[in-house]
C-alpha cells in the first residue's frame, strides 16, 4: 500500500467518523435520556442535507444552508416531540421504535415527492487542497473533522458546566430520581430532543459534500449509526466519539482493502466489544428509567 493511499484513507476515515459521531450522538442522547429509539433522527439528517443542497443550489452560502437545515429540522423535531413522543414516554421502547420508523418512512416519501429519486451533488464550501507527505487532501475534510471536534468539546462543557446539562446527565443515569428532585423531566426531554435533531441535521449538512444527497441516505447510514451507539455505550459522549473513530477507520480501510468487508467489519467489531464489555466501551452500569 502506497503511503499516499494510507494517509488519504486515514483522513477520510476521520472525516467519516466526524459525521458518524454527530449522528450517533443524537441517537445516544435520545435513548439515554428518554429511553426512546428515535429513528426519526435519520429524517433530520436527510432534511439537513437537502436544505443545504437547496440553499447552495440557489447560489447562497453553504453555511447558510447548514443553518437553515438545523432550523428546519429543529422545528420539525419540536412538532413531532410535542404531538407524538409526549404520548409515548411512559410506554415501552417498541412503541417509540415503531412510531419513529413510520415517521422515517413518511419523511422519505415526502423527500421523494419534492426532490424525486435523482441523487443531488452539493459543492464543498472550501475547495482548497492540503499537501501532506506527498499526497493532496481536500481541505474540507479537515474542516469537518475540526467542527466535529469543537462540537464534542462544546457538548462536554454543556453537560458538565450548565444546569440544564447537569439535569440531562442526571436524566441519563436515572430519570425517576431526577424528576423526584423537582426537575420538570419533560422539559429536559424537549431540550434533549432538539439538541439531538440539531446534531443530526449538522451531520447531514456536513456529509452532503462528501456524498450524493438522495432520499434514502438516512436508511443507508442507520445500521452503522446504531452500531456506533451500542459499541460506545448509551448516553456516553466519550464512548460515542471513540466508537465513531474506530468504525470510521474500519469502514475507510475496508473500502480500500476489500469493499464487501467495509459493510461487515463494523458488525464484527460490535460482537468483539460485546464479548468483553456487554454495556459498550463506556456504558454505565447505572442506566435506569
**Residue 215 pLDDT > 80, yes or no?**
yes
Mean pLDDT of 259-285: 74
More confident residue, 35 or 284: 35
Q: How far apart are CA 163 and CA 124, in angstroms?
A: 37
**Domain assignment of residue 277, yes or no:** no
**Domain assignment of residue 88, yes or no:** yes
**Residue 285 pLDDT > 60, yes or no?**
no
The grid coordinates listed for 11 are: 483522513
Give the pLDDT score at 45. Answer: 97
**Domain assignment of residue 28, yes or no:** yes
Q: How far apart are CA 67 and CA 115, in angstroms?
A: 20
Give the pLDDT score at 213. Answer: 95
Q: How far from each other are the two terminal CA atoms of the chain, in whole angstroms?
A: 49
Give the pLDDT score at 177. Answer: 66
Q: What are phi and psi of 213, to 5 degrees?
A: -80, 125
Residue with cell 445516544: 28
The tally of domains found in the chain comes to 1
Q: How far apart are CA 281 and CA 36, in angstroms?
A: 21
Q: For the chain, give the mean pLDDT.
A: 86
Evaluate whether 265 touches 254 at the Cβ level (below 8 Å): yes
Angle of CA points 209, 18, 281, to nearest 5°: 150
Residue with cell 443524537: 26
User: Model confidence over 162-185: pLDDT tens digits?
Assistant: 888 887 777 666 666 666 666 777
**Domain assignment of residue 61, yes or no:** yes
Q: Which domain holds residue 137?
A: 22-218
Give the pLDDT score at 17. Answer: 93
Give the pLDDT score at 180. Answer: 65
Give the pLDDT score at 172. Answer: 66
**Domain assignment of residue 247, yes or no:** no
**Domain assignment of residue 133, yes or no:** yes
Evaluate whether 107 touches 46 at the Cβ level (below 8 Å): yes
More confident residue, 205 or 252: 205
**Domain assignment of residue 81, yes or no:** yes
Cα→Cα distances 126→62, 137, 139, 202, Å: 9, 12, 7, 17
Q: How far apart are CA 228 and CA 24, in angstroms?
A: 6
Give the pLDDT score at 274. Answer: 79
Give the pLDDT score at 176. Answer: 64
Q: How far apart are CA 66 and CA 120, in angstroms?
A: 16
**Residue 86 pLDDT > 70, yes or no?**
yes
* pLDDT confidence tier of residue 271, bands split at 50, 70 and 90: confident
**Residue 286 pLDDT > 50, yes or no?**
no
Residue with cell 430532543: 193
**Residue 284 pLDDT > 80, yes or no?**
no
**Domain assignment of residue 40, yes or no:** yes
The grid coordinates listed for 130 are: 492540503
Residue from 158, 154, 130 nearest 143 by CA: 130
Give the pLDDT score at 289. Answer: 46
Considering only 8-22, 81-95, 266-280, which range has the smallest mean pLDDT?
Answer: 266-280
Amino acid at each position: 500500500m502506497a503511503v499516499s493511499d494510507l494517509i488519504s484513507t486515514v483522513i477520510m476515515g476521520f472525516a467519516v467518523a466526524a459525521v458518524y459521531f454527530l449522528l450517533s450522538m443524537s441517537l445516544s442522547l435520545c435513548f439515554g435520556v428518554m429511553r426512546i429509539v428515535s429513528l426519526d433522527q435519520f429524517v433530520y439528517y436527510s432534511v439537513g442535507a437537502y436544505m443545504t443542497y437547496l440553499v447552495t443550489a440557489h447560489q447562497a452560502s453553504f453555511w447558510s444552508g447548514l443553518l437553515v437545515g438545523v432550523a428546519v429540522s429543529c422545528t420539525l423535531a419540536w412538532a413531532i416531540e410535542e404531538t407524538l413522543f409526549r404520548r409515548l414516554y411512559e410506554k415501552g421502547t417498541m412503541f417509540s421504535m415503531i412510531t419513529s420508523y413510520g415517521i422515517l418512512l413518511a419523511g422519505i416519501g415526502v423527500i421523494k415527492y419534492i426532490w424525486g429519486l435523482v441523487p443531488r451533488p452539493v459543492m464543498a464550501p472550501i475547495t482548497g487542497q492540503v499537501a501532506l507527505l506527498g499526497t493532496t487532501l481536500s481541505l474540507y475534510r479537515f474542516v469537518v473533522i475540526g467542527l466535529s471536534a469543537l462540537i464534542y468539546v462544546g457538548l462536554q462543557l454543556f453537560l458538565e458546566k450548565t444546569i440544564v446539562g447537569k439535569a440531562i446527565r442526571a436524566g441519563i443515569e436515572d430519570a425517576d430520581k431526577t424528576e423526584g428532585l423537582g426537575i420538570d423531566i419533560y422539559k429536559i426531554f424537549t431540550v434533549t430532543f432538539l439538541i439531538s435533531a440539531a446534531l443530526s441535521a449538522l451531520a447531514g449538512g456536513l456529509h452532503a459534500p462528501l456524498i450524493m444527497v438522495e432520499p434514502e441516505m438516512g436508511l443507508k447510514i442507520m445500521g452503522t449509526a446504531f452500531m456506533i451507539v451500542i459499541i460506545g455505550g448509551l448516553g456516553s459522549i466519550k464512548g460515542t466519539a471513540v466508537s465513531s473513530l474506530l468504525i470510521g477507520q474500519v469502514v475507510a480501510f475496508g473500502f480500500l482493502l476489500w469493499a464487501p468487508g467495509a459493510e461487515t467489519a463494523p458488525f464484527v467489531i460490535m460482537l468483539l466489544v460485546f464479548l468483553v464489555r456487554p454495556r459498550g466501551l463506556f456504558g454505565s452500569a447505572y442506566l435506569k428509567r
